Structure 1
């Protein structure tokens, strides 16, 4: 099989028969011959669902009859085939004329058949008027009786001519098989006309009919006629009167189904250069058993499904998981409302925190299953298909797997979904619905090519793409780097240096819905530092920390790694990381001590907080020395200690206040109260402490107001302490 067979819908001949249909066509010919011995004219029906191969069977029957027939010699052919398609005719009149024309054309051209052909030709001339007047075609005629009298008087009447046709055909040794395919395509009115034509006009000697249709569809059409009046029983009774012999298409056997599925799948795999592991083949087999097999029951359905996969997978090849794409394609073609409905629940399905998922965090698996069952009902999933659809969704999305199995598959499982590029991960979800890599994403092929070059110590034009993407969406890129695997010692150092280049260019947003944060880069650095990679760590840290971005990334990464080591009880690792932080931060501040404080990047200066966490006295000595030497005015140092951040309420950087603890561990509150007493006395306390834009004036106002409140709290605490001491002395007296 090739891709043309997947997309094409032409009937299959005996040479291309993969499903042993030839044997069934031979059985049909035996039945047709038997019917001829028992009846002068009869109607046989080949019944089967759309796509089951009826047209292919009919083609094989016609080919076999043609092979046995002898056209222009003295031998008498047993059968002739008239291939008649009533649905191609625009009206009833042309249908009648077309029928008799096909009947006449199928007779041999030799002399002995001339009388039969002449009789049918003469009958065609009268078919239209007779039809109009006889009520076969239901139209009004103002002079019906006069025209009827003209036609039935003398032996030139239509009735006489029809009798000659019957006599001529009865004397013929040839039998005519009129094949009518796709009767279920007709409108209710057209279908009744065909049946009337067969019963009232077309029942001629040695003329047999082989009809083909999907019974369910045909019954629906009949029920819409004035004959049945939506009564299934009346429709079935009428159909049974019309058809004397019914032949039902054989269902696909397991062996033929397996052959068709495997051959179709192999075409897709070959066209798209996809290789499947044993685990992947097992996953496809599971999808087939639980969902696909109930819907892909005919050759056409199987081929068209894989044709859908083949024609659309090329747009995302290697950028999605093939098994997931197969499952989503099935939903798209058989349950399109489910397919589109999934997009409305992206946050929940990918375990991506958002406003829509806040209320679902405490939901039990049972309640979640009930809710999704309701969704499927709303999306029009039939009851008999609900379990299959749910089984597909559970294989694709962790929350639904949790609901179905009654156990939790949380965020820890997401890394596995990401590694296989599954639709259940936020980085890949859109690709399955966008039919490509969205413009705000970066293809995995680009990421992998860049990381391949980095791990091998080579230059690549893909690396700038990776850096650009890192700046725009660091969280996504860091996840992809994680999924890539170990880059090796030199590769780890190289990727950290590249990240250092972009670190300060990454917007440090921490707003409610922001995803552009440096946190992901710091977390990646922490992972490497925690494990002592790259080694030797001290030497590489000096290289990384040479730039401002590398320095900030290293300090924050080391700080995160140190916190993790402390929480997990890894004391030796924590001590190593503490020494590294102390060394590179003290060196940087020592190097900057003669610089104007205004020239030091705020991100660099903020590392003083990390230094103070591990060596507060050293920080106090350094900053007091800078202030007392006049190099860094104390009030400007205080300004730089004000916390900055971002919120969704206001664009840009805003001020987040100044904490007492920050001042205490970097300078000492009493020291600051004494040295800035006048400035604090004159400061206004009518200041919004959080949310003001980050300007020099606002930083100064917030800093002094915070110090004023801190001093006031200190004095109140001292007064209460003094009152308590005095009260205690009074008690002794």
Structure 2
């Protein structure tokens, strides 16, 4: 947490960044003028909650107690400290009496003030109140009942005593806006009807809006705002309005606080991020940060919660999300709830929408924000703020029809809230249990690059299997520039590849594709002299040769890769060895998994290299032609599972020619079904049914002159 205490709400007169000292001195000077013109007066220090009113009041108190300013006896009375209206009344007079000069000369005079006090105080509250002699109070009460002195007479004697004061008293009353309506009326009664004594002045500090709300709840105003204001004007003769925080001052406070946090946490903020925050501040946030307290409240939220996420999220995104949580809680709630899918691009319209739909979508979002209780004047700027965080809204704002993948990659690069890999961190105030911290990913890469792969391998493998797409994406960004880490990572990926499958329409991304993308990125980092050992190590795992083949295929398609020959030689070698293991073996004893190496070998080495060898296995009888055809029936993958699809007739034709299969399988083809049901379950028997059916249809088509196949 920061060294600065943003949670502090006490007065801070030593801090005068808002130039309140000059204002406070001006108030004291004005009070001196007031006492020269009036024996008693009520003034008000007025400012909204959080405006620095209490700090300004502390500065005024310091100046009032400075005898160079003419001398005041300051009575600091906080009405909020009393439990009820009667206690407040008694406390008021006790404070007044205790403020009188001490010594024998003033002993009798203090008694007269006490008599006035007992004349107006509730008798039941006198006994036990600190500073009041209960027996004297009772004696005085008895005298009053006996008709010795009237209340007005006692008050007149008290006034005469107070006129003899060398220094006037000033009652400082803060927190009036925290009182109940009844307590507030008691304060005003004391000030207006009882407390207006010579050489007694008042400075009341309050938030005017709150006080008017309280007065409206009493019989004085009976719900009428105008009457409430008229009543206040009768009470307070001179008002001192705390200067509002100027926009430049608010910006200064915020800049100082953010700079202090970025220095403390060693955060590097890009120019792009600075521009995003500046726009959000200018268009939306500034209207909420209008008091010192609002700035401190905002920064306190950032300071308290960012530490657990340092280096795990984007600092500016975190500041913007924290603003929403602090000042627009309904919007914040919806982002983490019902709006999540659309904001992250997981809803169908984001993937399939058209540019022409953007104006309508913008209107719909503005309506959503209104329903989330965003002020009407802030709705448009709130939409722009959200658009700076979430790519789908950025597309709507700028009327893009495509390119969301690029926008998502930019958000991913900065670890923004608008990317699925980082979204939950902003709402969990830490890295969730099903996520892997970016610093952990970086540590893995660093240790792998340093040769500590033995200790790290199990952790990386486990993470890849548990959260394949997200972990793979993060590793993909971090392996660049780490050749040794890439060498050690490839076998881990080959091992993990056996435990992942392709998922159609996956929100988080296909695990299989994620593994292949990461493997490609890692392969590009492997030095030429380590390629053979890296590929050989991959081949020690069940799916290692397949993954190496996919990498080679992607490298050949990458225009930025100039030479793939070294990698190709290594991959072709392991695939050739895999196929060699069953070239002379009965294909019925070869699993479909093993046979897939034939496909990868043909693609990697080229048909001109592989096909003659395969043809020899068919010609010499090692491989049964029907088994070979059956193993070349493709499998379709869908959300409901695997099913058989089509016979790869082009493979049969390229390897041995279709005529070869027509001849060798004539009897089985003749007896085969002309058509088989679509999407048969995967089994050896069904593979043969599909193969023979397709061969029968193709043979019939081939027998027709100039027929379309």
Q: How many corresponding residue pairs? A: 689
Q: Deviations over 1:633-673 (max 9, x none)?
A: 445444433434654335xx555564544554566555445
Cross-structure match for 2:33 = 34
Cross-structure match for 1:224 = 217
Cross-structure match for 1:49 = 48
Query: Which sections of structure 1, spanning at least 5 residues, go unmatched?
Result: 71-76, 133-147, 725-733
- Summarize the Cα distance change of 1:456–1:356 in structure 2 as closer, same or farther, 3 Å threshold: same
Of 417, 421, 427, which residue of structure 2 is paired with 1:423? 417
Cα distance, 1:44 vs. partner? 0.7
Of 615, 618, 641, which residue of structure 1 is paired with 2:632? 641
- Summarize the Cα distance change of 1:654–1:511 in structure 2 as closer, same or farther, 3 Å threshold: farther
Cross-structure match for 1:714 = 698
Cross-structure match for 1:251 = 244
Q: Please show how residues 471-490 of structure 1 align to structure 2 within 5 Å.
A: 471-484=465-478, 486-490=480-484
3-state SS, counterpart of residue 388 of structure 2: helix
Q: Give the distance between the partners of 1:588 and 1:24, measured in 2 at CA.
A: 87
Q: Deviations over 1:588-647 (max 9, x none)?
A: 312442456577564442243344557557655544544565555445444433434654
Cα distance, 1:720 vs. partner? 5.1
Cross-structure match for 1:144 = none
Is the CA contact (8 Å cut-off) linking 1:26 and 1:61 kept in structure 2?
Answer: yes
- Summarize the Cα distance change of 1:355–1:281 in structure 2 as closer, same or farther, 3 Å threshold: closer
Cross-structure match for 2:444 = 450
Q: Give the distance between the partners of 2:465 and 2:444, measured in 1 at CA.
A: 15
Is the CA contact (8 Å cut-off) linking 1:508 and 1:518 kept in structure 2?
Answer: yes
- Summarize the Cα distance change of 1:700–1:473 in structure 2 as closer, same or farther, 3 Å threshold: same
Task: Calculate the TM-score normalised by the size of structure 1.
Answer: 0.83
- Summarize the Cα distance change of 1:80–1:421 in structure 2 as closer, same or farther, 3 Å threshold: same
Q: Deviations over 1:539-597 (max 9, x none)?
A: 467535532432110112223444x35xx7x9986999888776653443124424565
Please say which of residues 667-676 and 307-316 is displaced more in the overlay: 667-676
- Summarize the Cα distance change of 1:469–1:701 in structure 2 as closer, same or farther, 3 Å threshold: same
Is the CA contact (8 Å cut-off) linking 2:79 and 2:173 kept in structure 1?
Answer: yes
- Summarize the Cα distance change of 1:496–1:646 in structure 2 as closer, same or farther, 3 Å threshold: same
Q: Does 1:413 align with 2:402?
A: no
Is the CA contact (8 Å cut-off) linking 1:176 and 1:207 kept in structure 2?
Answer: yes
Q: Give the distance between the partners of 1:294 and 1:244, measured in 2 at CA.
A: 32
Of 65, 81, 94, which residue of structure 2 is paired with 1:88? 81
Cross-structure match for 1:209 = 202
Query: Which sections of structure 2, spanning at least 5 residues, go unmatched?
Result: 126-140
Q: Deviations over 1:311-370 (max 9, x none)?
A: 10011111111111111111111111112222233343334x445745645564433332
Cα distance, 1:715 vs. partner? 5.2
Cross-structure match for 1:371 = 364
Of 507, 512, 518, which residue of structure 2 is paired with 1:518? 512
Q: Give the distance between the partners of 1:443 and 1:679, measured in 2 at CA.
A: 59
Of 150, 153, 158, which residue of structure 2 is paired with 1:165? 158
Is the CA contact (8 Å cut-off) linking 2:493 and 2:515 kept in structure 1?
Answer: yes
Cross-structure match for 1:700 = 684
Is the CA contact (8 Å cut-off) linking 1:617 and 1:665 kept in structure 2?
Answer: no
Q: Give the distance between the partners of 1:689 and 1:47, measured in 2 at CA.
A: 82
Q: Does 1:433 align with 2:422?
A: no
3-state SS, counterpart of residue 640 of structure 2: coil
Please say which of residues 389-398 and 89-98 is displaced more in the overlay: 389-398
Of 342, 349, 355, which residue of structure 1 is paired with 2:335? 342
Cross-structure match for 2:8 = 8
Question: Pairwise CA RMSD of aligned residues?
Answer: 3.8
Q: Deviations over 1:470-525 (max 9, x none)?
A: 22233223322332262354443333233223222334444655745222222344
Cross-structure match for 2:130 = none
Q: Deviations over 1:182-238 (max 9, x none)?
A: 222223333233223322222222221111112222223333333334333222222
Cα distance, 1:674 vs. partner? 4.5
Is the CA contact (8 Å cut-off) linking 1:42 and 1:207 kept in structure 2?
Answer: yes
Q: Please show how residues 303-318 of structure 1 align to structure 2 within 5 Å.
A: 303-318=296-311
Is the CA contact (8 Å cut-off) linking 1:679 and 1:704 kept in structure 2?
Answer: no
Q: Give the distance between the partners of 2:454 and 2:416, measured in 1 at CA.
A: 28
Q: Does 1:121 align with 2:114?
A: yes
Cα distance, 1:536 vs. partner? 5.7
Is the CA contact (8 Å cut-off) linking 1:605 and 1:640 kept in structure 2?
Answer: yes
Cross-structure match for 1:58 = 57
3-state SS, counterpart of residue 43 of structure 2: strand
Cross-structure match for 1:558 = 552
Please say which of residues 114-123 and 593-602 is displaced more in the overlay: 593-602
- Summarize the Cα distance change of 1:387–1:657 in structure 2 as closer, same or farther, 3 Å threshold: same
- Summarize the Cα distance change of 1:357–1:390 in structure 2 as closer, same or farther, 3 Å threshold: closer
- Summarize the Cα distance change of 1:320–1:31 in structure 2 as closer, same or farther, 3 Å threshold: same
Q: Give the distance between the partners of 1:600 and 1:519, measured in 2 at CA.
A: 27
Q: Give the distance between the partners of 1:647 and 1:468, measured in 2 at CA.
A: 26
3-state SS, counterpart of residue 96 of structure 2: helix
- Summarize the Cα distance change of 1:601–1:60 in structure 2 as closer, same or farther, 3 Å threshold: farther
Q: Give the distance between the partners of 1:193 and 1:525, measured in 2 at CA.
A: 78
Q: Please show how residues 456-535 of structure 1 align to structure 2 within 5 Å.
A: 456-459=450-453, 461-484=455-478, 486-510=480-504, 515=509, 517-526=511-520, 534-535=527-528
Task: Calculate the TM-score normalised by the size of structure 2.
Answer: 0.86
3-state SS, counterpart of residue 465 of structure 2: helix
Q: Give the distance between the partners of 1:473 and 1:443, measured in 2 at CA.
A: 12
- Summarize the Cα distance change of 1:230–1:627 in structure 2 as closer, same or farther, 3 Å threshold: farther
3-state SS, counterpart of residue 247 of structure 1: strand
Is the CA contact (8 Å cut-off) linking 1:534 and 1:540 kept in structure 2?
Answer: no
Cα distance, 1:101 vs. partner? 1.6
Is the CA contact (8 Å cut-off) linking 1:492 and 1:534 kept in structure 2?
Answer: no
Q: Give the distance between the partners of 1:571 and 1:358, measured in 2 at CA.
A: 31
Cross-structure match for 1:191 = 184
- Summarize the Cα distance change of 1:29–1:596 in structure 2 as closer, same or farther, 3 Å threshold: farther
Is the CA contact (8 Å cut-off) linking 1:525 and 1:558 kept in structure 2?
Answer: no
Q: Give the distance between the partners of 1:561 and 1:546, measured in 2 at CA.
A: 18
Q: Give the distance between the partners of 1:722 and 1:364, measured in 2 at CA.
A: 48
Cα distance, 1:12 vs. partner? 0.9
- Summarize the Cα distance change of 1:2–1:714 in structure 2 as closer, same or farther, 3 Å threshold: closer
3-state SS, counterpart of residue 441 of structure 1: coil
- Summarize the Cα distance change of 1:400–1:206 in structure 2 as closer, same or farther, 3 Å threshold: same
Q: Give the distance between the partners of 2:658 and 2:611, measured in 1 at CA.
A: 11
- Summarize the Cα distance change of 1:532–1:359 in structure 2 as closer, same or farther, 3 Å threshold: closer
